[in-house]
Chains A and B, each alone.
Chain A
Amino acid sequence: MEVCPFEGITMEGGQVEFTDACRLCRVCIKACPTGAIWLEQSDAGPILERDKYKDVLIFAEQRQGRIQPVTYELIGKGLELARCLGQEVIVFLAGRDLKAQAHELLLYGVSRVYLYEHKALEHFRIEPYTSLIVDLVNDTLPNILLMGATPVGRSLAPRVAARLRTGLTADCTSLSVKENGDLVQTRPAFGGDVMAQIITPRHRPQMATVRHKVMASAPRLAEPKGEVKECAVDESKLKSGIAVLKFEPYQITTSISDAEIVVAGGRGVGRPEGLKLLEQLAVEVGGALGVTRPLVEQGWADYTMQIGMSGRTIRPRLYIGCGISGAIQHVAGMRGAEAIFAINSDPNAPIFDIAHYGLVGDMYEIVPHLIAMIREGDDPNGVFQLS
C-alpha cells in the first residue's frame, strides 16, 4: 500500500482494494514480493509492425524566416538516434521564401528537407501546419518525430499527436533508442522534483518535444549532404480559422524570473560600473542581470532585479554570482538553480557552501577575461545567419 505513489490502494477488512486514485502506473506490480498483483490489459489495437517505420523526422521551426536554434539541437540528437538504428534524419520546413534556409539545413547532415513554401505559411497557423506534417508523416512513416518545446512546438505537437493517435512526451531531457526502435524518453515533472521515463511501445511515430539548450547542436559540415525536396502545397490544407493580425517582437528579455541564465551582482561590485561589466557578461551568455538587495537599496538597480526572500525567486539553468556573500535571504531565492557558479574574493564566503563551482578571486580581474574567452570561442557556425 505504501508503495503506491498515488494512494490508490486501500485495505478494507483484510481485503486489498484499488481506488479511483489508481493511475495504473504498475509500481505496485513491480514492488509486490509475491507477484500477487497483475494487470489485465485488453489488447488495444493491432500488433505494431515496427519494421514499417524508420527514420527520424524533425520539425524545423522558423520565425520571421530564421531557423530557430533548437532545430539544430534536435538534428544533433536525431542523427545520434538514427545512427544507432542505421536510419536517416529527414526534416519538415514550411514558410515563405525559405530555399536558402532549406539548403543551410543540409549542412547539418540531414538526408532530406521537405520544403513547403506558400505565402499562407509565412506565419505559423495551427491548422495548415498540422495538416502538412500529418500528410508528410503518412507518406514517410517515420519511427520518431521530434519538435522543439517552444510555444509553437508545444501548441503544434499535441495536435499532430492527437490526429495521428500516437504518444507524445513533453520536454524530454534525455532520449535514447532500444534495438527494436523504441524510444526511451526521460522528462521532469512536478516542477522538476520528479523524473519520469516514458515509452510509446505500440504507436508510431514516437513523438517528443525537447527544450532549447538541452541537447547539443549538430556540427555544421563543410559540404552539404542530402537533398531539398520541394513539395506542392495543397490549397485545401491551408484553411484556417485564425488570422495573424500583428507580431511585436520583445525588445530584450530582462525578466530574471523567466531567464534560463542569470548573472547576479552583489555589494562586491563596489561601484555602478561593476554592474555594467556584469551586464556585458550577461549579454555574452545570453542571460539576464540580477542583484542582491543592497544594490537595490543603493539605487543602482531596479527592484524587479532583486533576487531573494524579499525579491524574486529564480530557478534558472545557470546562475553566476559575483561579489555576493551568500546571505540566507539571497540564497532562498536562487538555490533552485541547476548550476551555481560563484566568484568571490573571500574563500570563506558562505556562497561557496552552496556553489557547485567556486572561483576565489577578484571579479574585476576574472570577468573581463571570461567575457573575452566566451567571445573568442563562439562558434560562428553555431547559429545560422540569414544570408
Chain B
Amino acid sequence: MHFVVCIKQVPEGTEVEIDEEKGILKREGVESKLNVYDTYALEAAVALKEEFGGSVTVISMGPPQAEAVIRESYMLGADEGYLLSDRVFAGADTLATSYTLASAIRQLSDADIIFCGMQTTDGDTAQVGPGIAELLGLPHASYVKRLCTLEADAIILETDMGDGIESLKIELPCLLTVTNEINQPRLPSFRLKQGTKNRPVTIWDHQALVGAKQGYFGLDGSPTQVERIFPPPKSQEQVIWQGTPFELSQRMCAKLRELKYI
C-alpha cells in the first residue's frame, strides 16, 4: 500500500512575542521544526508500512528551508519526499494549501491512505486535512485516535468525538487526521540519518502540478485575508474582594455569569 503523509514546518514553541507598537510577530531567533501532530501522522504511516508492506511518501508545502522537515521524516522511516515550493504558492490560506497539496497527491496517483496531523501549532485551524479530502473526492475521518484493522479496501478505526468514541469503517482510498493519542512516535534513527543522507527531495513548483489552475494557488486562490495581527487583550482587571462569605459568593457568582462561564 502507498501511504502519503502531509507534514508542515512550524516555528518552534508556541511562545511567540508580538511587537505591540507595530502589531507584528517577533520572530528573531525562532527555530523551525516539524509540526508535532505530523510526527504522529508519520508514525502511523510508517507502522502500517512495517506491518503490511508498501511505502511512505511525505509531502510538504513551504519555502525551500522546509526541506529540513522532509530530511527529518527520512530519519523517521519515510521513503520518499516532495517539497512543493514556489513563489506562486505563497500567502496561501487553508483552501489554497489544501488545493496545492491535493494537486500533488493526485499527481502521485496511487495513494491508499493519506495522513495529516489533527492541526498545526501555528495556524491551528485543523482545516487542511478535510479540505484535501474534499478536493480529492475521498471520505475522511478527523481526530483518529486508534487504528484497529486494515483490510484490502477499508480501514476500521476509532475517532475522538469529544463526547465519546466513534468506531468507523472507511473505504480506501481515504484521508485521516490523527490525534496525539494514536501512537508514540519513534526517535530519529542515526542509522537512517546516515543511510538517507544522499536521498533526494523532489521539489515541485506550480508547473510540475499538471492540470492545476494557477489562480487557485497562493494568495490569489485564498478567499480569506489576514487584515491585522495583534496581541491578545491584556489579562483583565485584578481585584481582591473582602466581605462576608455571602457577599463574596454573590460577587463571584455575578462575575462568573458576566463572563459567561455559567
Q: Which residues of A contact B (CB under 8 A)?
A: 3-7, 19-25, 27, 31, 41-42, 44-45, 63, 123, 126-127, 130, 150-152, 154-159, 161-163, 165-171, 184, 188-203, 213, 216, 240-250, 261, 284-286, 317-318, 338-339, 341, 343, 347, 352, 355-362, 365-366, 369-370, 373-374, 377-378
Contacts and interface: CB of A to CB of B under 8 A. Distances in A.
Contact of B245 (A20, A198, A366): A366
B239 A241 contact: no
A197 B139 contact: no
Given A20-B90, A194-B229, A374-B253, A241 B220 contact: no
Nearest to B122: A190
B66 to A, nearest CB: 9
Contacts of A377: 253, 257, 262
A286 B170 CA distance: 34
B25 interface: yes
B121 A191 contact: yes
Contacts, number: 289
Contacts of B135: 162
A376 to B, nearest CB: 9
A386 B147 CA distance: 34
Interface in B195-245: 215, 218-232, 235-243, 245
Contacts of B251: 359
A107 to B, nearest CB: 20
Interface stretch (B39-47, B69-77, B107-115, B123-131): B123-131
Contact of A197 (B27, B130, B227): B227
27 contacts: A7-B27, A20-B64, A20-B85, A22-B90, A24-B219, A27-B22, A126-B133, A158-B98, A158-B128, A158-B129, A167-B222, A171-B124, A194-B16, A194-B230, A203-B223, A216-B260, A241-B170, A243-B169, A247-B167, A317-B261, A338-B235, A341-B252, A347-B242, A358-B239, A359-B251, A360-B242, A366-B249
Interface string B162-178: 11111111110010000
A160 to B, nearest CB: 8
Contacts of B17: 193
B168 A244 contact: yes
Nearest to A216: B260
Given A167-B224, A285-B261, A20 B253 contact: no
Interface of B: 11, 14-18, 22-25, 27, 63-64, 85, 87, 90-91, 93-95, 98, 121-131, 133-135, 138-143, 156, 159-171, 174, 215, 218-232, 235-243, 245-246, 248-253, 255-257, 259-262
Closest 4 CB pairs of A and B: A167-B223, A24-B91, A191-B14, A241-B139
Contacts of A31: 22, 24
- Give the dominant DSSP class at A's interface: mixed
A196 B232 CA distance: 9
A165 B96 CA distance: 10
A151 B126 CA distance: 10
B249 A370 contact: yes
B225 to A, nearest CB: 5
Contact of B224 (A4, A168, A245): A168
Contacts of A159: 130-131, 133-134, 140
Given A240-B139, A242-B168, A362-B245, A25 B253 contact: no
B139 A359 contact: no
Nearest to A215: B260
A29 to B, nearest CB: 12
Contacts of A339: 236, 259, 261
Contacts of A192: 14, 232
